[in-house]
Structure 1
Amino acid sequence: MPPEDIEALFTRSDGTFLCARWGRPIAPVVFGVDDATLATVKGALEAVCTLAGHEIAETDPELGANLMVFFFREWSELPEVPNLDRLIEGLPDLVARLEATGANQYRVFRFDAGGAIRACFVFLRMDADLSAVPADTLALVQVTQTMLLWSDTAFTDRSALGRTEGGHVLLRPEIAAVIRAAYDPVLPAVSDDPAHALRLSARIAAGRPA
């Protein structure tokens, strides 16, 4: 994967570059789904964490759960979630903006003192469009988008997922390679230097830490 293509994945619409990975084990909790969907989401998380060589934990010592995924029907339900306003600053204003734009998903990241991801909140309003997406596809997309701090435009033109000839959904090989390289312990957990893309590209090309 050419360095310029990797750089584009982490260059935001305002022109700034930032690549960050999780700096701690991921402790997930999922709200608003049945047991089957819960198992699908956790299965997707386990698969991508295995790919990245990153740990999953039962609990986070600071937050309890540091990856929270909410499934719901209307944005107006969020302010009713106990204590969510303590975790998401300006929650009423955020809900109003999302309702006004007709959004069906939103992610909020929190970072540690060094800039690595320490928490992520994923909100999925199950409108007709999202409800039409198979659960395994939706789960894999969301997990992929929480594993790294991708650009806000990274997947606007092309999904992170692809399909095999048999119709199975999986990560595009180049996206899987970027995730694996980004979690190389030799690399910093956070970089705002576009040259970081060169280091990622070198590891991908070598197929092993360079």
Structure 2
Amino acid sequence: MTPQALTALFTRSDDSFAFARWGRPIAPVIFGVTEETLPVLKGALEAVVALADHKLAETDPELGANLMIFFFRDWAELTETPNLDKMIPDLGPLVDRLQQAGANQYRIFRFDTDGAIKACFVFLRMDAELSAVPAETLALSQVVQSMLLWSDTAFRQMSPLAVVPDTGHTILRPEIGALLRAAYDPVLPASAQDPSHALRLFARMQTR
């Protein structure tokens, strides 16, 4: 991965640079999955969080759960979820926009006073496209995309995952794994708006 490619992962479509990582342990809760699928999601969370040398927690002192992942069939189901509108302002208009766009996933981050991630809401509408994705692949992809504030264009051209030719197993791309480890280096700040931060990340990747 070149410094330019790394910078692009955090440069949004309006050309602004924004980086943020979690500033607290991640306390997840998952809605709408079967008992068989739940261990797959938990396993992906544990693996990626351990890779980044971050922490999981049973509860968050402020929010209870701070990573909420919702699986559903229709966007309208969100407006019927009790108290969700209290956590996500303008939920109704958001659902309308997502329905009109035919979106099958959406992610919302909340930040603390230092700019670090303090909460993330992940919404997955299980249409034919997402339903065809193996559970392990979907879980790993969603966890990786929830670990950092990536650009809105970060993975349009290249997935953060790769398939091992010999086994067919889906894994995290090595350079993305190295980036996650660098991003959670305690020496670096938890958030940044200057593109020079990408060069610091790149330098850390070379030493890990």
Which band: TM-score by shorter chain? over 0.9
Separation in structure 2 between the aligned mates of residue 192 and residue 173 of structure 1, nearest angstrom? 25
**TM-superposed deviation, 1:190:** 0.4
1:69-108 residue pairs with structure 2 within 5 A? 69-108=69-108
Separation in structure 2 between the aligned mates of residue 109 and residue 203 of structure 1, nearest angstrom? 25
Unaligned segments of structure 1, at least 5 residues: none
**TM-superposed deviation, 1:38:** 1.0
Separation in structure 2 between the aligned mates of residue 129 and residue 186 of structure 1, nearest angstrom? 40
Separation in structure 1 between the aligned mates of residue 35 and residue 171 of structure 2, nearest angstrom? 22
**TM-superposed deviation, 1:206:** 1.7
Please identify, of 51-60 and 164-173, the stretch whose mean Cα deviation from structure 2 is larger. 164-173
Separation in structure 1 between the aligned mates of residue 16 and residue 179 of structure 2, nearest angstrom? 19
Match of 2:45 in 1: 45
1:85-164 residue pairs with structure 2 within 5 A? 85-164=85-164
Separation in structure 2 between the aligned mates of residue 89 and residue 141 of structure 1, nearest angstrom? 26
Separation in structure 1 between the aligned mates of residue 76 and residue 56 of structure 2, nearest angstrom? 31
**TM-superposed deviation, 1:133:** 0.3
Separation in structure 2 between the aligned mates of residue 6 and residue 180 of structure 1, nearest angstrom? 14
Separation in structure 2 between the aligned mates of residue 118 and residue 201 of structure 1, nearest angstrom? 25
Amino-acid identity (%): 67
- 3-state SS of paired residue (2:68): strand
* TM-score of the two chains, using structure 2 as the length reference: 0.98
Match of 1:18 in 2: 18
Separation in structure 1 between the aligned mates of residue 202 and residue 117 of structure 2, nearest angstrom? 22
Structure 1, residues 80-125: CA drift from partner, whole Å, max 9, x if none? 1000000011000000000001000000100001110000000000
1:56-67 residue pairs with structure 2 within 5 A? 56-67=56-67
Match of 2:181 in 1: 180
- 3-state SS of paired residue (1:198): helix
- 3-state SS of paired residue (2:13): coil
Letter in 2 for 1:192: Q
Separation in structure 1 between the aligned mates of residue 10 and residue 110 of structure 2, nearest angstrom? 17
**TM-superposed deviation, 1:169:** 0.5
Letter in 2 for 1:197: A
Letter in 2 for 1:206: T
Separation in structure 2 between the aligned mates of residue 112 and residue 183 of structure 1, nearest angstrom? 16
Structure 1, residues 128-158: CA drift from partner, whole Å, max 9, x if none? 0000000000000000000000000000011
Letter in 2 for 1:172: R
Letter in 2 for 1:20: A
- 3-state SS of paired residue (1:68): strand
**TM-superposed deviation, 1:3:** 1.2
Q: Provide the alpha-carbon RMSD of the alignment.
A: 0.6
Separation in structure 2 between the aligned mates of residue 120 and residue 36 of structure 1, nearest angstrom? 24
Match of 1:198 in 2: 199
Letter in 1 for 2:130: L
Separation in structure 2 between the aligned mates of residue 33 and residue 205 of structure 1, nearest angstrom? 39
